[in-house]
Structure 1
Amino acid sequence: MSFDIPDFSAVKILVVGDVMLDRYWHGDTHRISPEAPVPVVRIMQNEVRPGGAGNVALNIAAVGGKPTLMGITGNDDESGVLQKILADAGIACHFEQAPNQPTITKLRVISRHQQLLRLDFEDGFQNYNADSLIEHFREQLNQHDLVLLSDYGKGTLNNVQMMIELAQQAKKPIIIDPKGTDFERYRGATLITPNLGEFEAVAGKVSDNDALSSKGRSMLDQFGFEALLVTRGELGMTLLQNGKPDKHHPTHAQEVFDVTGAGDTVISILSTALASGMPLDAATQLANIAAGIVVGKLGTSTVSLAELKYAIQERQVAHTGMVDEEQLLTAVTQARERGESIVMTNGCFDILHAGHVTYLEQASRLGDRLIVAVNIDETVRALKGADRPVNTLWRRMTVLAALGCVDWVVPFSEETPERLICQILPDFLVKGGDNDPDLIPGSKCVREAGGEVRVMQLVDSCSTTGMIKTIRDSDSGPSK
């Protein structure tokens, strides 16, 4: 991944959705109440933050965009607090105030950075007549580059289909964070961003990337979406577009502390990047990086432009562990500038065993840096059968990256890694077992570049297939 973040200062986004106020009470907990088996929290600090569509708008403003926020609140103090916070952040607000109904408020009690309790104060606005909101939406359309609809199912977007039609007439892209199982109401949107649970509630359970792709592409056709971005937690996110190949982006989260508002951050950064002219795949990668940052924070939070730039810079600096191809090429270039030699091997590594470890340790001794290229799940299945792999790509790469002898682990999606090997041109190309060196993919280009091809001796009686058979044949109960 290599791209520059564009200037977002000219980007104008019309955000419409369910706005809410998030309150946080922080305190110490040292004892259990004598009245009931619950902790006693001595409140020391309280804070308020915009939630829902308000958090979406804040995320846009945090990276320099210019959002206008429309929604429904009560006619109460909470509405005033919400509007002041947003106005202080430079966000233009247009709130319809419903009489005799409270602004949606969520109160979280937190102690030692852990959420102990959440209380929701809301009636929703399902029966509110939002004709004036629609009219103001119509007036604002031509002043904005993109429409972002943030649906939390509270009633603000009851007339979402009318908003979509108006945005289509104005030729504005429409990005939607959906809610519920009725995706028909979002028909004609440019792109929607369900999480995996929301996607499966509509499309049915998915067991792997192939099933996700199949069901997702059916959804594109059924509802007339141009693209679909499914956020998948620890598995990252998957982008499906009409007429383009699937893109599965791994997560960038280093530590997951709190997922509250992560979806808001994804759609905010994605929309801002798209409105600035970034291609959809690059915008998705940027949103993915932002999500990885925000889940390391407590509560509904934003990501700053400086944090994004730092995260991108960090990914472009050579490091060890799991990498993508662009990171690997950068790392290899920097290693060679330091005079280090490169060793490369590849395989499925489905269930890592002593044979694998011995072979990798031997390979690492040939040079300074060892690259392990790993088959994605689909090519493992094609090579080994429908019941493989036992472990997903992410799990296989995680285990390999933990080995002290391995420097970089990179996935490859082709039948063989020949293209990648010929890009890297390692000093040593290594395979194990009874491979013919002349037939090893990539051997020709490595030798032509002056490198060597080596075949390492494998440990007898060690194979993943044999291990699986032993486990299946065993009568000693489930493996531990």
Structure 2
Amino acid sequence: MSLIHSPTFPDFTRARILVAGDLMLDRYWSGATRRISPEAPVPVVQVDRVEERPGGAANVALNLAALGVRTALVGITGADEAADLLAERLAGVGITARLHRRADVPTVTKLRVLSHHQQLIRLDFEQSLAPRDGDADPLPALLAERLADVDLLLLSDYAKGTLADPQALIALARTAGIPVLVDPKGRDFARYRGATLLTPNRGELEEIVGVCRDDVALIEKGQRLRVELDLDALLVTLGERGMLLLRPSAEALHLPTQAREVFDVTGAGDTVIATLAAALGAGVDLAEACALANCAAGLAVGKLGTATVSAPELERAYRGTEWQTVLEQDALVAAVATARARGERVVMTNGCFDILHEGHVAYLQQARRLGDRLVVAVNDDDSVRRLKGDGRPINGVEQRMAVLAGLASVDWVCAFGEETPAALICRVKPDLLVKGGDYRPDDIAGADCVRANGGEVRVLDFLPGRSTSRILGAIRKAKRQPSLS
């Protein structure tokens, strides 16, 4: 599964997605506060703007429609004005919605009162949407009518009762050969057994598997849960740390996100799973789809309320490479140009990084402290083979870049296939080119281009006694030792 992002942005209009889950109406009352109420020590909001937006699973559908996906939606509402508003808003953006209206419950509504972009209070109007005793669940029949016309089923669970029996829905879809993505809720993930992929956040996952004190524990417990639930993959969202993708027969893939001011996290999970579904429905592989979802999540948290991300907006951010770590060369050049326009100092280094060890980590941390962005150019497999001989590299270029991308010190990683990275360095034109070891600055590939552009070349210290060759030698020696068993 390639980690090098394709220059072709996916055509989301190819995707046909069916969303099923808890529907809500999000209401926002906004206005200025200039005084305290004489009745109680609370601010008085002079409401001058009222907004109604589809929320919950309906917001997931909105996110899909904003990307251009052909979107269908099924769910349960009350038989009330809120349901009418919800249906009107959904139809207005081209979403085909089939609402099962019940007279015995209200449409789930969340009213937020805001002033100066600050939420002062939230009022919830809701009752359980689960079927009453003796009543049939309407969701399987609603789904069965739609499955023949979709590529993927997305279950958006907000624990309001609509997805009372997700197993029935998963079975219907999988029998029809349709993948099922689930945004889960609650402490019983066994309800989603057999789905294609789940997208819990770290807190939700730890509610199931217990506290994970580090990434090793998170990966181990997450993989165990994935196997227990017969999932194809598990995507764990990590907030400001990005995402962690767990799959069978593949090492964990960490997709770090760039630091960004968080304005409002409301609906960010909806954006993640909607973008993931849209990308998969458009034929993108899973790793690339997760990278797109990671980018979209970063855009979503910079907006107020349950906002959507449009396809042009996502494409601009994605092509601008602000959100990507592993890049193709053209994308890297564009990323560096953007960083330099913001006044950032770009540091660049290169190497094979076949087996990442503490010497590499310390060196890259040292390099990153010298600027605002660190670019790491990595020899591709053929280049390593020419330099190191047969049997190298031990790890392929995609695996090596994935590991480097997971380091906090590294901003961008890019592969090159020539004997030296001189051509790539001349394109990037870093402000500072660094190399570790006993090089002389004049002998470092690309030094002339960097200096000609006004940059600097520097040799950094490297921890003595740490090298990939030494590690491989120790492994070979250990293999030659006689077994004690």
Relative to the length of structure 1, the TM-score reads: 0.74
What secondary structure is seen at the aligned counterpart in 2 of 1:265? helix
Q: 1:334 to 1:75 in 2, by over 3 A?
A: closer
Output the CA distance in 2 between the equivalents of 1:373 and 1:108: 51
Equivalent position amino acid for 2:348 in 1: I
Equivalent position amino acid for 1:254 in 2: R
What secondary structure is seen at the aligned counterpart in 2 of 1:315? coil
* 2:257 and 2:324 in contact (8 A); partners too: no
Pairing partner for 2:81 from 77, 81, 90: 77
Cα deviation 1:244-286 (Å, max 9, x = unaligned): 2211111246321101001001111110110111101111111
Structure 2 runs not aligned, ≥5 long: 377-400, 427-431, 452-456, 463-485
User: What aligned pairs does 1:229-244 form with structure 2 within 5 A after superposition?
Assistant: 229-244=235-250
Q: 1:335 to 1:145 in 2, by over 3 A?
A: closer
Pairing partner for 1:413 from 387, 403, 421: 403
What secondary structure is seen at the aligned counterpart in 1 of 2:26? strand
What secondary structure is seen at the aligned counterpart in 2 of 1:93? strand
* 1:150 and 1:177 in contact (8 A); partners too: yes
Equivalent position amino acid for 1:289 in 2: C
Question: How many residues end up aligned between the 2 structures?
Answer: 406
What's 2:263 paired with? 257
What's 2:43 paired with? 39
Output the CA distance in 1 between the equivalents of 2:449 and 2:73: 61
What's 1:133 paired with? 139
Deviates more, 1:198-207 or 1:266-275: 198-207
Cα deviation 1:162-216 (Å, max 9, x = unaligned): 1111111101000000001101110000001001110111112223322221111
2:325 paired with 1:324: yes
How far off its partner does 1:310 sit?
1.2
Equivalent position amino acid for 2:327 in 1: E
2:148 paired with 1:142: yes
User: What aligned pairs does 1:3-402 form with structure 2 within 5 A after superposition?
Assistant: 3-128=7-132, 129-252=135-258, 254-315=260-321, 324-326=325-327, 330-331=331-332, 370-371=347-348, 400=368
How far off its partner does 1:303 sit?
0.8
How far off its partner does 1:12 sit?
1.4
How far off its partner does 1:412 sit?
7.4
Equivalent position amino acid for 2:325 in 1: D
RMSD, matched Cα:
3.9
What's 2:482 paired with? none
Output the CA distance in 2 between the equivalents of 1:406 and 1:137: 50
How far off its partner does 1:11 sit?
1.8
Output the CA distance in 1 between the equivalents of 2:124 and 2:61: 21
What's 2:384 paired with? none
What secondary structure is seen at the aligned counterpart in 1 of 2:146? helix
* 1:194 and 1:231 in contact (8 A); partners too: yes
Deviates more, 1:86-95 or 1:170-179: 86-95
What's 1:352 paired with? none
Equivalent position amino acid for 1:408 in 2: L
What secondary structure is seen at the aligned counterpart in 1 of 2:172? helix
Output the CA distance in 2 between the equivalents of 1:121 and 1:153: 14
* 1:62 and 1:302 in contact (8 A); partners too: yes
Equivalent position amino acid for 1:181 in 2: R
How far off its partner does 1:34 sit?
2.5
Q: 1:308 to 1:454 in 2, by over 3 A?
A: closer
What secondary structure is seen at the aligned counterpart in 2 of 1:43? strand
What secondary structure is seen at the aligned counterpart in 2 of 1:80? helix
What secondary structure is seen at the aligned counterpart in 2 of 1:96? strand
Output the CA distance in 2 between the equivalents of 1:283 and 1:234: 19
Percent identical among aligned pairs is 45
Equivalent position amino acid for 2:184 in 1: P
What secondary structure is seen at the aligned counterpart in 1 of 2:76? strand
Structure 1 runs not aligned, ≥5 long: 317-321, 341-367, 459-480
What secondary structure is seen at the aligned counterpart in 2 of 1:152? coil
Output the CA distance in 2 between the equivalents of 1:285 and 1:170: 28
Q: 1:182 to 1:194 in 2, by over 3 A?
A: same
Output the CA distance in 2 between the equivalents of 1:234 and 1:9: 30
How far off its partner does 1:40 sit?
1.2
* 1:74 and 1:98 in contact (8 A); partners too: yes
What secondary structure is seen at the aligned counterpart in 2 of 1:134? helix
How far off its partner does 1:136 sit?
2.1
How far off its partner does 1:328 sit?
7.1
Q: 1:30 to 1:11 in 2, by over 3 A?
A: same
How far off its partner does 1:135 sit?
1.4
* 1:269 and 1:287 in contact (8 A); partners too: yes
What's 2:389 paired with? none
What secondary structure is seen at the aligned counterpart in 2 of 1:35? coil
Q: 1:446 to 1:207 in 2, by over 3 A?
A: farther
Output the CA distance in 2 between the equivalents of 1:272 and 1:323: 18
Output the CA distance in 1 between the equivalents of 2:346 and 2:27: 50
Output the CA distance in 2 between the equivalents of 1:59 and 1:335: 30
* 1:253 and 1:295 in contact (8 A); partners too: no
How far off its partner does 1:437 sit?
4.1
Q: 1:35 to 1:221 in 2, by over 3 A?
A: same
How far off its partner does 1:132 sit?
3.1
Output the CA distance in 1 between the equivalents of 2:402 and 2:140: 48
Q: 1:174 to 1:444 in 2, by over 3 A?
A: farther
Output the CA distance in 2 between the equivalents of 1:323 and 1:286: 9
